[in-house]
Structure formats: C-alpha cells, structure tokens
Structure 1
Amino acid sequence: MTGWKEVVRAGTDLAIIGFAVLALSLPVLTAGAALAAGSAAVHHWCEHGDLPPARLAGRWFVGALLPGLGAQTWAAVVTAILVADVRALLAGHVPGGTALVLITVLVATYAIGVAALTVVQVGRTQARGWWAALRASVRPQRGSAAATAALSAVVGIAVVLAAALPATTPLVVAFALFAGHVTVRRLRRDR
C-alpha cells in the first residue's frame, strides 16, 4: 500500500509538470513542444517514479519546437474544418441536418482521441516523432480503439474541469497527461 507521503510527492511532481507545460505554452506557438515535453516527462515519471532532470526536459522541449508547431498547425486546420462543417450544417447551408451534425461530432470526438493518443505516443519517444506517433495512433492494433475512446473521455473531463475551475488548469493538464499514459499502458498491457 502506498503511504500518504508518496501520494503527495507524486501529486507534486505531476503538478510541477503541469505548471511547466502551461508556462511553456503561454507564447502559444510553443504549445505543441510544451505538450510533447510534458508528455515525455510524464512517461519518464511513470517509468522511473521521479521527474526527469531539467536539462533533459529542456532538450525535449527545444527538440520539439518545430515539429510541435507543425502538429499545432495541423490540429488547428482540422479543428477549423470541423467547426466550419458544424456551423454550415446548423445554419442549413448544407443538407443533412441533425444526422450529419451528430456524425461530425463523432468524427471530432475520434479526432480528439487520436490527438490525445498521439501526444502520449510522442511522450513515449522522448518528445520526438509526431508523424510516427500519429500513424501509430490511427493504426489498428490491440487497444487502439479503446485507447482512443478512453482518451476522448479523459480530454472531455479535463476540459470540463478546467472550465469549471480555471485555477486548477495546471493540475488538470498534468493529470490528463498522466491519465493518458496510464490508460495506454493498461489497455496495451505495456510495461
């Protein structure tokens, strides 16, 4: 059984990661790199039980700047397309109505799950390999569908919590990353 000191230390370590991710995301253009480095730090924490050295985390962040910006750009494009699609459907500019809105929401939910799984995969490879992580996230393999669905739920819960209690956003970010890594480990039975 884990003692309360270990639980507090784990929570503190994850909170540090969450604050670092949010602080490094403030310039907006660095959000992809911050998520990648944060995911790598959470993966390191899951593997070793402690925070990675600051110098190593800094290398992950710097190495992920350009690829993270590319990932952010693709995420923004996909989001803009899905939002425009829903708006056009709701305004009646495109036939299909409610049925196509529901299908679009399902596609958006799947895209959120794939994005979250991609962030976890990037973290597992030390903040590198966005394209390989995306391919691994959409490739049918043991646990992928369940991981995508579970991570969609994790992101949804995290968004609701952060919106309801904005002061907890750094903690929500860190624990969402942690939940993503733990979920993938459990569903794929990795060690």
Structure 2
Amino acid sequence: MRAPAASGPALIGISTDGTAIAVDVDHAPHILVCTSTGGGSTTILRNLTAQFLHQGAHALVLDPTRISHLWAKDLPTVTHRGNVAGIHDALVGLAAELKRRTDLDGVPRLMAVFDRVDDTLRHLARYWETFRHEGDPKKSPAISVLEDVLYEGRQARIHVLYNGQASGGGLSLLFNLQRPRCYSTAGGSARTCVGASVSSTIRSGRWTGRFSRQRWPR
C-alpha cells in the first residue's frame, strides 16, 4: 500500500489566466466554494476532501442530499451523515472533539465537509425549533458549534470545507476572504470562485455573505 502524501496544499483547478490554483489550510484554515447552480461546487468539495484524505486527514462529511458523497461513506477515516438529525448530532458531537484536540499535538487534520450549507442551516434551525424545550438556547446548538469551529478550529486542526451562494437564507456570515480565486471550467462556460481564510460570525436566521472589497479575476 502506498504511504500517504505529505501534508500540503490541495489543488483546486486552473485559473482564468492558466495558473494552477491550490489552497493550504496551514495558512487558510477554512475554505468556502461559491458557484452558480451546476457550477461544480460539490465536485470541488469531493476533490479537495479526497486530496486531504490522501495526506492522512480524517473527514466528517455532511451530505444533506444523502447521495452526493456516497464515495466517502465506507472509508475508514470518514464519518458520513445525511439526514438533518444525523447532521445535527454530528455537529453537536464536534464540540467535544474540538475541546479534546485543542491541547493535543500531532493529531490528524479533521476536515468538516459541509455540502449545500444554505439549505442545510435552515433545516437545522427548523429541526431545533421542533425539539427545543423551555430554557434551551434559542439558537441551534449545532449552529453554535459550527461557529466555534470556524473561530477555534485552526488550533485544533479542524478545517471546514463548505459551499454556498454569496447571498441566500440559512445564516448570517461575515467573511474575510483573502484573494478569492476564480477559474473557468472546460470551454469557459462557467466560473467558480473559492475563498479561504474565513473569519465569521454565525447568527440564526439569514445568510447575507459580505466579501472583502477586492476585484475578482475575470
């Protein structure tokens, strides 16, 4: 069996000027992929996750469609969750893993792969409203844990890879994206933009993504 590759950048694709574009979670701990419908964001998440797994990482794959990431379901270092109850429980359980890892050295990276984040966060908020009792926090604990991971995950070697649109419902995020990169698909018919180094505040309700004022490559 071939040994895993050394930890390092993961290739995304080729930019509009022909340059190879890669991301390195040592420098940009979380990765957001924004595309139009059919722009290939799920494929990018799959591609990045496979590369990080090859480097020795583990993965928590949140797959609300239940079919987009079946490729990872039976892999030994992957936990796959599909329905909203499973996604809720997996995120809540991530709080203990975040705390456990914070003071440990040499733990493998954990890639939290979150597909269709817009729709799924709306479903998580509604799910929590269904089961919330008097005295429970108003915000879904699953969403609260995601917020904690976005703030503290770098130290614990937990990295969030997720896709969504620049505006939509589900949550409110403040992004600080350093040089979003864009590349064209074969034939130039679609364009995909990837931002990294995410700093965010999540509030229950709506996602109105705000990006740093930089001109994206054309």
Name the TM-score, length of structure 2 as normaliser: 0.27
Name the TM-score, length of structure 1 as normaliser: 0.30
Q: Which has the higher helix share?
A: 1
Q: Which has the higher strand share?
A: 2
